[in-house]
Amino acid sequence: MNVIDHLNNALDYIEQNLEDEINEHEIARRAYCSVYHFKRMFSYLAGISLQDYIRRRRLSLAALELQSSTVKVIDIAIKYGYHSPDSFTRAFQSQHGITPTEMRVTNQSLKVYPPMTFRLSIGGSEPMKFRIENKEAFQVIGITNRVTPVDMGEHPGVEHVWRSTDHDTYAELKSLNNVEPYGILHVDRGDGSGLVKGEYDYYLSVASTKPCPDKFTRLDVPSMTWVVIDVKVPWGPEKWQQIYGEWFPSSGYEQIEGPRIQIGPEIAIGIENQVKVMTEEVEVEYWIPVKQVR
């Protein structure tokens, strides 16, 4: 059984249990990977989070059942995991544009999402430069902010860091960089980032052995194994597809919890200047924490 078969086996489990409790550990077991790796891989390959996919499928089945039966709305709500009519109505209206009651007395179109299936695609035509790096623990020092991701464009929480950093502070930060990896580090710490929903902490930072000044925040990065991928920023969804759809399935590694580190580019002080810089392609390194699984 190959990677595609494992993924589809996991999707089959989800489909068979939309009316019941779905166990994320069972999903991951069927996919032969950790829960953490599966959720990130799914998000980058499917373009939505695992949680959103399950919600969309449940609300799709609920709509079809409401349309073709006389079962009470509250009974269908409970059947698909909603314990109050209000929460079910809000979720239903968010997906379908009308309430369950309105749907039964009108003939409006519904937004129904079919079951997802992963298919084998021919990849590898675009080369990917990478290396495996085993690195001892190190410290980063920087300016941090809590970030809520948005679907399009740079995340506001990241822009806030760039906007609020002045020239003197930025120069002081760069002067602290005295160990590898050299250069400005854009560090994401937490469940979110990229196409994965959830808040995360962003650090505009450098690696340093020096004491952390009061104006900055320190983050200790443990000893880890990393896949270091050469990419050009800004990058689009196709690069995530290549990493999670081609590299990980064939590599014998899976992603583990830990910070993601992008080395470079330097920022141009002032948000307007930075946005202008980020429209030009710049080569950077992207570090993902991994473990070998086969």
Q: Residue ranges of the domains in the chain?
A: 3-105, 130-292
Question: What is the predicted pLDDT for the residue at 251?
Answer: 86
Cβ-based neighbours of 122, under 8 Å, separated by 6 or more: none
pLDDT level of residue 151 (50, 70, 90 thresholds): low
Instruction: Identify the bridge partners of residue 144 per DSSP, sorted by sequence position.
Output: 203
Question: What is the predicted pLDDT for the residue at 79?
Answer: 94
* Mean pLDDT estimate for the chain: 86
Question: What is the predicted pLDDT for the residue at 2?
Answer: 76
**Is the pLDDT reported for residue 271 higher than 90?**
no
pTM, full prediction: 0.81
Q: What is the pLDDT of residues 64-119, one digit of tens each?
A: 998 888 889 999 999 999 988 899 999 999 999 899 988 888 777 778 889 988 87
CA 260 – CA 185 distance, rounded (Å): 10
Indicate left, alpha or beta for 126 from its phi (over 0: left) and psi (-120 to 50: alpha).
beta
Dihedral pair phi/psi, residue 154, rounded to 5°: -75, 145
In this prediction, residues 191-195 reach a mean pLDDT of: 58
Q: What is the pLDDT of residues 27-68, one digit of tens each?
A: 999 999 999 999 998 988 888 889 999 999 999 999 999 888
Q: First-to-last CA distance in the chain?
A: 15
The domain made up of 130-292 has a fold known as Multidrug-efflux Transporter 1 Regulator Bmrr; Chain A (3.20.80)
**Is the pLDDT reported for residue 293 higher than 60?**
yes
Q: Let me know if the fold of 3-105 is the same as that of 130-292.
A: no
User: Is domain 3-105 classified as CATH 1.20.1110.10?
Assistant: no
Closest CA to 180 of 160, 201, 208, 211: 208
Question: What is the predicted pLDDT for the residue at 185?
Answer: 96
Q: What is the pLDDT of residues 220-267, one digit of tens each?
A: 999 999 999 998 877 777 788 888 888 888 888 999 999 999 998 887
Q: What is the pLDDT of residues 133-143, one digit of tens each?
A: 999 999 999 99
Coil vs helix vs strand at 243: helix
Question: What is the predicted pLDDT for the residue at 48?
Answer: 87
Q: pLDDT > 70: what percent of the chain?
A: 88
CB atoms within 10 A of CB 116: 17
CA 159 – CA 172 distance, rounded (Å): 20
CA 232 to chain centre: 19
Query: Please, where are the H alpha helices in the chain?
Result: 3-16, 24-31, 35-46, 50-68, 73-79, 85-96, 100-105, 156-164, 167-175, 237-242, 248-251, 271-277
pLDDT level of residue 152 (50, 70, 90 thresholds): low
Rg (CA), the chain: 22
Question: What is the predicted pLDDT for the residue at 201?
Answer: 92
**Is the pLDDT reported for residue 123 higher than 90?**
no
**Is the pLDDT reported for residue 124 higher than 60?**
no
Contact 3, 251 (CB under 8 A): no
In this prediction, residues 184-211 reach a mean pLDDT of: 84
**Is the pLDDT reported for residue 216 higher than 80?**
yes
**Is the pLDDT reported for residue 200 higher than 70?**
yes
Question: What is the predicted pLDDT for the residue at 197?
Answer: 60
**Is the pLDDT reported for residue 14 higher than 90?**
yes
